[in-house]
Chain A
Amino acid sequence: MNDLKYRRILSDREPPDLIGRSTELDRLVDFALNGAGDGTLLVCGAPGAGVSEVLKHAYDRLFALASPVIPIYFPMDLSGEGAARSARRFLHQFLIQTIAFARQDPSILKWLLDLPELAEIASPSDRHWIERLVRGVEEHGPDDSDDALVRLCLGAPRRAAAAGVRTFVMIDDAHAAMYHDAAEAVLDMFRSVGSGDGSRFAIASRRRFDPGVVSAGRLEIERLDFGQTADVVESSAALFGVEISDEARDLLANQFLGRPGFVSAIFQSAAERGEPLDRFLNVERAYAHEIFGGRIRRSLDDLFARIAPGQDLQRSVISMLDTRSAQGSKRLSIETWLKQSALGQDEFTKLIDRLNVEEFIRVADGRVDVVQTEIVVADYLAVRYGLEVAGESRAALFGRSVTDYLKRAPRIMAAFYRTQAAIGLRTLLSGFSLQQIPAAAIDHGLFAEHYKGLPEDEVLTGLRADEPDVRLPEIVFTADAADLYRPIGELADRDRSAIALGFQTGSYTDEDEIVWIAAEIDSKLAASRETAEFWCDRLEMVAHMCGFERFKIWIIAPEGFTPDAMDLIRGRDAFGSSRRQIPFIRRFLMADHELAGPVTAEEYEVVVPMDDESEMIAANTLEEIARRHNVPSRAINQIKTALLEASINASEHSLSPDRKIRQKFRVEDDRIVITVSNRGLRLADIRSGAIAAAGPEEPGDRRGWGLKLIQKLMDEVRIDQTDDGTSISMTKYLRAEEAPA
């Protein structure tokens, strides 16, 4: 919700009804007012995400601020106007918005004034540069080149800047350049004009379109999530005075997920017909009207006409895109598309580019995947296919569609409830970063044996005391399993199976690569051996089909697994967990300092140079800290020795560029944790031989004892490879029976 107060001028919705965009709006306004240096801000979003509305709100807010920066909003033309006409339109908008801002009178924006009239009403301080611009345009003869006119008009921000007038120009719909050569020429001119002293630009487009400008930053306008879309539904209902129920709101938010424009459209239509949207039947009937002939239909028709001009081509494209009519996979080769489209190579390339930018398809590895995630788009394509390709009767298809939508509604809601209840496997796996966790945290058999029936705090205490003997990989990429192997999507919902690629020990080598394949499965009771075997087989098939050589399977069942099933899972070198274990795993995934545990941790940091004996400065500091915390004297000496050894390791082998050792000491009630980090060659690479050590190792050398010593002196040792160095974490538990120093 946007709480700032300003008047609505260009925006479609009142400021408080701009939902979920306050951060993006702040960033846009901040760039306009405070952006430093040259470069243009790119504003990108998915089709229908509401990029234009954010820009318009930025305009309204900047207008209200009355700062020295004048906001200018200019949407590029998607319908094919010529470059000269576009340029004139830009100049007209630039001048009228400048004058309206100077007078702080937004009503001027609606005045029907030509360029000379605008020059007349300009303030005396601006009149000289405006008059020169207008005179230049008016003197432009019919035989003069369009290029000169376009350059003159689009150069207006520079002219204004030269006169001391600062502007922030927001060019919307830059992807128009993909559809028309004239728009491409205009965008090209904007590229060459660009941001400069006194004039600042933002260029907005579809997120898959590359405007080809030097960018000072990129602002992503993400699709609204379910909660935000539900807020848009409620605010639209209030705006248009349409009655809704909670159930209908949730259904609408699911069907129009992340599409605020479509939400407005259905409410506007419902208001015009005077019908409530309070029941699923009302919703789906109104929805069918929109898909068959309402605002949503017209909006998608316009889009399709731009993408594929000509009815024959549209029919061909609809046949290839419609997933409902498909008798199998909608993943076809580019050659098949080329053949079916009956286009020349150039036109076909444009078609594929447009479909990709508008997110109807995704092109990868020479194949075209139809994007099937948006319900509205799929319904639109199915209706057009039925009417235009299959030749169905409109009345019959309408009736069948309403009943189909109605029958589908409970399924949409059920899928929604399941998604809401899902663990969030991709997020969970993304958190894997070489943490070490106790086996009982992830192995249901061990968990059931030791912790079943215990309250949460006792389980957590127990798990923290367990040996952390399972080392998680460092995950670098996750995907829904169905995105990599589509058939698995028929067995598991998208959010309930995931593939995670990473490195087992964090040393980025071929041998270290590992893939985790995880699935959340259904089972009312502890899952049986047969169920476990079924899923192990399927997930191994995913690994096989995707060519993963080293992989780990992880299955999560609501109530865990029977002992038989656990035997099978372990025999397949897999993990089987219950839902109850997941929050505990999450706790272990948190960074050390975030982990709630024996509390009252105190932290100290020391950075010392890699010089002779400087490690003793850190060791003495550590001793002082340990004494303050009543650490037993024997433990202090052991910790000091371990610290010295870790520091020596860092100094001797790392070829560190900054020659610094960073040491962090954390004292908790029951332990002291020391972390020694440095930049340079990574210890694991040196040990594995992937990189030659900094110094020669001689045969029979009595060196290289440091790590072994550390492991003997401390209770836990963890070596983490950072991007450019090594971090050794050492933990010493402070046992009560030992005397303090």
Chain B
Amino acid sequence: MNSEGASLGTASAKTAVVYADDYLNKLTGEKIERECKLLLEEGCTELVVDLSRTEIVNSIGVSILLGVIDTASNAGARVIFSEVNETTVELFDMLGVTRHADILDRAA
């Protein structure tokens, strides 16, 4: 897991990218959560969670991501999930993640 600053999105936005592991579960989800909180505290207004290496996500992982979206929203920031595979998009759709965050799937 790592993160990096990047110039993505609008010019005024301070964007950071967080990379998720191959299996997004409670353990790895909490790592993302901690990383995102730190980035928000540093003033990030746009968090990109890169799921390019993520093969599979479980429901606990999704619930943690929803918590990250809430925290970001409260801090006035937005969350984007990028490089999301087809199954995970389907899962996000089922569990309502797509209603609260932007999803960029791997084909996009």
Residues of A within 8 A of B (CB): 612-613, 616, 619, 634, 637-638, 640-641, 644-645, 648, 702-703, 705-706, 709, 712
Contact = CB atoms under 8 A, between A and B. Distances in A.
B59 A645 contact: yes
Contacts of B86: 634, 637
B73 interface: no
A709 B67 CA distance: 19
Given A641-B91, A705-B63, 9 more contacts: A612-B25, A613-B25, A634-B86, A637-B87, A641-B56, A641-B58, A648-B59, A705-B62, A712-B94
B66 interface: yes
A634 B23 contact: no
Contacts, number: 48
A644 B66 contact: no
B8 interface: no
Contact of B56 (A640, A648, A706, A712): A640
Given A613-B23, A637-B87, A638-B87, A648 B60 contact: yes
Given A612-B27, A712-B94, A706 B87 contact: no
A637 B60 contact: no
Contact of A709 (B23, B27, B94): B94
Given A641-B58, A702-B67, A705-B59, A634 B25 contact: no
Q: Describe B's contact surface by its main secondary structure.
A: helix
Interface in B1-32: 23, 25-27
B87 A641 contact: yes
B95 A705 contact: yes
A709 B95 contact: yes
B20 to A, nearest CB: 14
A648 B87 contact: no
B87 A703 contact: no
A616 B25 CA distance: 10
Residue among B57, B66, B67, B87 with most chain A CB within 10 A: B87
A637 to B, nearest CB: 4
A703 B60 CA distance: 7
Contacts of B23: 613, 616
A545 B94 CA distance: 50
B58 A644 contact: yes
Interface in B31-51: none
A501 B13 CA distance: 68
Contacts of A619: 56
Nearest to A637: B87
Interface residues of B, number: 20
B66 A702 contact: yes
Nearest to B95: A705
A619 B27 CA distance: 17
Contacts of A709: 59, 91, 94-95
Contacts of A638: 87, 90
B18 to A, nearest CB: 20
A619 B24 CA distance: 14
Contacts of A648: 58-60
A187 B18 CA distance: 83
Nearest to B28: A613
A702 B87 contact: no
Contacts of B25: 612-613, 644
Contacts of B91: 641, 709
Interface in B70-85: 85
B59 A706 contact: yes
B63 to A, nearest CB: 4
Nearest to A706: B59
B45 to A, nearest CB: 24
A642 to B, nearest CB: 10
B56 A645 contact: no
A616 B67 CA distance: 24
Contact of B87 (A612, A634, A645): A634
B66 to A, nearest CB: 5
A648 B56 CA distance: 14
A637 B87 CA distance: 6
Contacts of A637: 56, 85-87
A706 B94 CA distance: 11
21 contacts: A612-B25, A613-B27, A616-B56, A634-B86, A634-B87, A637-B85, A637-B86, A640-B56, A641-B56, A644-B56, A648-B59, A648-B60, A702-B66, A702-B67, A703-B59, A703-B60, A705-B59, A706-B59, A709-B91, A709-B94, A709-B95
A703 B66 CA distance: 11
A737 B95 CA distance: 27
Contacts of B62: 702, 705
A712 B86 CA distance: 15
Contacts of B63: 702-703, 705
Contacts of A703: 59-60, 63
A682 B1 CA distance: 37
10 tightest Cβ-Cβ pairs between the two chains A and B: A637-B87, A702-B63, A705-B59, A644-B58, A706-B59, A702-B66, A616-B23, A712-B94, A709-B59, A703-B63
A633 B47 CA distance: 30
A299 to B, nearest CB: 73
A616 B23 CA distance: 8
A65 to B, nearest CB: 63
